[in-house]
Amino acid sequence: MSSASLDNVRPAPPISSKLWRVPGVWVGGGLVFLFVFAAIFANAVSPYSVDARFGKNLPPSWQHWLGTDSNEKDVLTRVIHGSRLSLVASITSISCAVIIGVSLGMLAGYKGGRTDMLIMRLIDIWLSFPSLLIAFLVIAALSPGWIAVILAVALINVPVFTRQIRAEMLSLKHAGYVESSIAAGATPFYLVLFVFLPAVTGTIWVLATLGLGHAILEVAALSFLGIAGDPSHAEWGSMLVEAKEHLAITIWPAIAPGVAISLTILGFNLFGDGLRELLNRRTRSF
């Protein structure tokens, strides 16, 4: 390679210099931080203990900013505590989805041929099922409860990762530096761990952040349908079912978890989009 061609490649600008140009990261990150903070410090932040009883369906007041629900419990407290289950369930399930999805995608992209065909057809079949149906199948196989919900949401999200990672692998495989390392005698193990994985990390982060938004909604939907086990846990989806029956009497127990769900999803989506914008420029400069 001549030195002239090297000059055409501009060095990637550092991420920090771009950060301020992408407001989504700030707004989204802020929202996400808010809920993560609430989840971690739920006991300190919320005004009351999570199962304390006050009075049935009280309207908002200074004592109870969002009123109380039909189980006589403080809505604000339960929304704050609810962020725990929602976030833990979504993060766990997306992590599972990343592990399964990325491994399958890399395997398909790297091996190619019959393995690729097999895995991708499997993913196609997977995608042809409505996601709720997959969830019901999982829950029917296990028993209703959080483990089943987490597994179901994980399985629903696997195809996204597999497809995207496989696509990137196809172009990566023929990148100059990959071919060089193969020529230098890199083992498949080394390749995956130190060559491919670092190259797709950016994509994984973006997809995972966006996926978290979906996962929050899916978790809430499944617990709304009553298949997330114990309905007495403070969880946004089950709070909504509870509130639905008393809409004519008080709307706060319905609005509060609804808004919480929307805001976390908005947060994750903005953050994910921002990340993509940031990282895409960087990846493009390879």
| Contact partners, residue 189, CB within 8 Å, separation at least 6 | none
Q: Is 117 helix (H, G, I), strand (E, B) or coil?
A: helix
145 Ramachandran zone, left/alpha/beta (phi>0; psi -120 to 50) = left
Shortest distance in whole angstroms from residue 191 CB to another protein: 34
Nearer to another protein, 125 or 175 (CB): 125
The least CB distance from residue 76 to another protein, in Å, is 17
Which CB sits closer to another protein, 168 or 218? Answer: 218
Least Å distance between CB 223 and another protein? Answer: 10
Q: How far is the CB of 95 from another protein (least distance, A)?
A: 18
Sign of CA dihedral 279, 282, 285, 286: negative
Nearer to another protein by Cβ, of 21 and 244: the residue is 244
Nearest-angstrom CA–CA distance, 89 and 97: 12
* Count of CA atoms in the C-beta half-sphere (13 A) of 280: 9
Which CB sits closer to another protein, 168 or 242?
Answer: 242
Residue among 61 and 143 whose Cβ is closer to another protein: 143
Measured from the CB atom, is 169 or 217 closer to another protein?
217
- Nearest to residue 276, comparing CAs of 224, 213, 207? 207
Farthest CA pair distance, the chain:
79
What's the min distance (Å) between Cβ of 160 and another protein? 11
At residue 65, the 3 state secondary structure works out as coil
Q: For the CB of residue 25, give the shortest distance to another protein in the complex, in Å.
A: 25
The nearer residue to another protein, 82 or 237, going by C-beta atoms, is 237
What are the residues binding another protein (CB under 8 A)?
51, 53, 56-57, 70-72, 130-132, 144, 156, 214, 217-218, 220-221, 224-226, 229-232, 237, 240, 242-249, 251, 254-255, 258, 261
- Give the residue carrying structure tokens 């403080």: 74
Question: Which residues, including other chains, have CB under 8 Å from residue 69's CB and lie 6 or more apart?
Answer: 57, 75, 78, 239, 242, 243, 246, 250, 253
| Rounded least distance, CB 249 to another protein, Å | 6
Locus of tokens 């995207």: 164
Question: Least CB distance from residue 106 to another protein, whole Å?
Answer: 25
Q: What's the count of helices (H) and strands (E) in the chain, helices before strands?
A: 13, 0
Whose Cβ is closer to another protein: residue 57's or residue 181's? 57
Contacts 24+ apart (CB under 8 A), 185-191: 188/110, 191/110
